[in-house]
Amino acid sequence: MRTVFRADASAALGGGHVMRCLTLAKSLEKLGWQCGFAVNATALEIIPALAGEDILVLDSIMAAEAENIRKNWPDGADWLIVDHYERDAGWEAGCRGWAKNILVIDDLADRPHDCDVLLDQTPGRASDDYAGLVPPGTRLLTGCDYALLRPAFAGNRQTSLARRTGAGRLNRILVSIGATDPDNHSLVALQAIAESGLPLAVDVVLGAAAPHRSAVSAQIETMGKEVRLHVDVANMPELMARADLAIGAAGTSTWERCCLGLPSLMLVVAENQRLIAERIATTGAARVISGPRDALADRIAGALRDLADDGDALSDMAAKAARICDGRGCDRLGLELVPPGQAKNGRPVALRLATANDEGLILEWQRHPTSRRFARNPQVPSAKEHHQWFTARLADPECLLTMITLNRKPAGVLRLDPVAAPAAAPQTPAFEVSILISPEHRGQRVAEEALRFARRWQQKAVIVAEVLPENEASVALFQRAQYGPGAGGLLYNYP
């Protein structure tokens, strides 16, 4: 499938829009999608990680953009993804026909859009906020569950949360106020840390194109060897995981900090960040530092001293941050972009990530007398055993535990667990599939369509199934879904 992103970056805009698009693109490319970017010229300077992507650099004439995008990708796109505050329904409508589907990423809810799906990761965002701004039937994906983070954040989540249990201690600070930080709030934060008088280790993160990098470096030189500047970092999840507190903007990095349970002192450095800052602060995961610029350093220093004296408050902020975002937004959105199948009754069959709310329903299905007959472990699980298993699966970012939905209502479970690549495709990612259909939805072609959906989702992977030969119904099911016999008596479905 082909996806084209439209986003810009500059010293004034920062790199957040392009960065979250790039994050989503990497996730989709891992699944086998082809991705391209239509960006302004400065985006390549602000986000060096764009190098190597399929890029169209646009000029400043907005009226010609849609036509230039069409010419660059003449075969069209399955999805056009727009992450841009200065594009609206008029521009998006001009891309219809060339783009089969349009996804808009927004967090302002202040202008009309012509899209099939709209994503807004603002905490507490309600679908009603877009009433009258999107066409009827637009799918609205709202809230922090859809925050688009690199997989390394989910991968570091359990380690980061584990080190924050118990009373918190303020020893290390992360200062990260955007890739470009055009108003040099990083310098203000460093001055505040120095003013606090606390013996803190500090990591400061900036992009290479940050206009005030030399001033920040000069301030760091006055603060000792425990204060370090990191430029164009590749290890941001690790820096966040080892920090006890962040001083940061209320932009896209907000969700990264929450995923890792990192408490924040938040600065509103752009008007579009104000709502996010207010809502995150309401949860108790962060404190907003506001006021005139010449008062910010004193206020940050005071907040640092308060938290240094109150480890319980720091620990409480960490726990509340961790509840906001789990880092699986790209997985959730990726599933939303896959075209659904159709059951016998014509209703759509799709997959979504399982949540804690699904635990009881899955246990009920597992305990049905017919569910264990051909299972690898025929023993019916106790509630305690199921809870331990289910919690571990949810916490494992490598495990793709999904609910099968029929007309968006739960109808079964499909799980993909990473396994070693088969000898026939040694360089190919591989998963073992497990599937369970609820008793009331059997015989409706739900299982077959769920398996086909999994193939459309994981386009690059080998999918393996272990089915007992005497389970003739399941053997026939997998054969209909294009699985064939292979090594070890397993059934294989190749890309």
Residue 256 known to bind ligand = yes
Q: Are 114 and 135 in contact (CB under 8 A)?
A: yes
DSSP string, 46-107: H-GGGTTSEEEE--S-GGGHHHHHHHHSTT-EEEEEE--TT--HHHHHTTBTTEEEEEEE-S
Indicate the DSSP class of residue 487: G
291 φ/ψ sector (left φ>0, alpha ψ -120 to 50, else beta):
left
- Catalytic positions are 17
Collect all residues with Cβ–Cβ distance below 8 Å to 114 and sequence separation of at least 6. 89, 90, 92, 93, 96, 102, 135
Q: Evaluate the CA torsion angle 54, 59, 60, 64 in order and state its sign.
A: negative
Between the CA of residue 146 and those of 31, 102, 166, 388, 409, what are the distances in Å?
A: 18, 17, 29, 26, 19
HSE-CB at 162 with a 13 A cutoff on CA atoms is 6
Residue 65 known to bind ligand = no
Q: Can you tell me the distance from the alpha carbon of 488 to that of 7, in angstroms, rounded to the nearest whole number?
A: 48
Q: Residue 433 pairs with which residues in a beta bridge?
A: 416
Collect all residues with Cβ–Cβ distance below 8 Å to 480 and sequence separation of at least 6. 448
Query: Shortest CA distance to 336 belongs to which of 468, 220, 457, 253?
Result: 457
DSSP string, 224-283: -TTEEEEES-S-HHHHHHH-SEEEEESSTHHHHHHHTT--EEEE--SGGGHHHHHHHHHH
| Alpha-carbon dihedral 178, 183, 185, 191, rounded to 10 degrees | 150
- Roughly what angle, to the nearest 10 degrees, separates helices 329-337 and 16-31? 60
**Environment class of 172 (CB within 10 Å of its CB; exposed 0-12, middle 13-18, buried 19+):** middle
Between the CA of residue 425 and those of 365, 428, 458, what are the distances in Å?
A: 35, 6, 15
Annotated binding site for substrate: 150, 256
Annotated binding site: 150, 256
